[in-house]
């Protein structure tokens, strides 16, 4: 059975590998951004169509790796079957080390998927603050409009 949390981690690994945001990833898959956001938050489960779109858009992502974590990412087309018939203990150790390392990376990137980093605004100098205060002191209210929930409104003109 598909473990959704692991699937989400592998999607995040895929996006990190290509250094793309969730919005670019959704656009490349031609799915709505909200669909990807709901999937990444765990609200929705991936559909077969969604999974197939990933494997079509990113052929380096092996279907079994994407679904179950079996194999490697990116897949190497020159790998032979003999590499997979090695000691299962060693394969398990390397896979769990890889999973642990990527889990740390995913935890560091736990921001809202579509948010942008806001730039820090420099603080205003005292002269700029004083200038702002003086310009707002000279302003007069022209009118006030109050909107009611039934669709009506009242218009107040203080100068009249």
Query: Given this model, what pLDDT does residue 94 score?
Result: 53
48 located within any domain: yes
27 located within any domain: yes
45 located within any domain: yes
Q: For residues 55 and 68, what is the distance between their CA atoms, to the nearest angstrom?
A: 14
pTM assigned to the model: 0.47
Largest pairwise CA distance in the chain: 90
In the chain, how many domains are there?
A: 1
151 located within any domain: no
Residue with tokens 């790796």: 65
Q: For residues 153 and 130, what is the distance between their CA atoms, to the nearest angstrom?
A: 36
155 located within any domain: no
- pLDDT, one tens digit per residue, over 55-106 is 999 988 888 888 888 888 887 754 434 344 444 455 445 555 555 555 555 5
Q: For residues 120 and 73, what is the distance between their CA atoms, to the nearest angstrom?
A: 37
Contact 114, 37 (CB under 8 A): yes
Look up the CATH number of the domain holding residue 62. Answer: 1.10.260.40
- Please indicate whether residue 159 or residue 33 has the higher confidence score (pLDDT): 33
Q: For residues 36 and 69, what is the distance between their CA atoms, to the nearest angstrom?
A: 20
Report the percent of the chain where pLDDT is more than 70.
62
* Domain range enclosing 46: 4-75+94-108
39 located within any domain: yes
Query: Given this model, what pLDDT does residue 29 score?
Result: 92
Query: Given this model, what pLDDT does residue 85 score?
Result: 45
Grade residue 50 by pLDDT with cuts at 50, 70 and 90.
very high
The H or E element that residue 146 is part of is strand 144-147
89 located within any domain: no
Q: For residues 141 and 156, what is the distance between their CA atoms, to the nearest angstrom?
A: 10
20 located within any domain: yes
């Amino acid at each position: 059975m598909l473990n959704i949390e692991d699937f989400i981690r592998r999607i995040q690994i895929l996006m990190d590998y290509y250094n793309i945001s969730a919005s670019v990833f959704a656009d490349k898959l031609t799915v709505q951004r909200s669909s990807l956001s709901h999937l990444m938050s765990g609200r929705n489960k991936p559909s077969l169509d969604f999974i197939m779109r990933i494997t079509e858009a990113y052929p380096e992502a092996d279907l079994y790796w994407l679904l179950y974590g079996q194999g490697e990412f990116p897949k190497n087309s020159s790998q032979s079957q003999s590499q997979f018939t090695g000691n299962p203990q060693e394969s398990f150790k390397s896979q769990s080390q890889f999973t642990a390392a990527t889990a740390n990376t995913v935890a560091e990137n736990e921001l809202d998927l579509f948010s942008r980093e806001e730039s820090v605004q420099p603080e205003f100098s005292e002269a700029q603050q004083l200038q702002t205060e003086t310009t707002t002191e000279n302003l007069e209210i022209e009118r006030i409009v109050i909107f009611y929930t039934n669709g009506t409104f009242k218009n107040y003109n203080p100068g009249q």
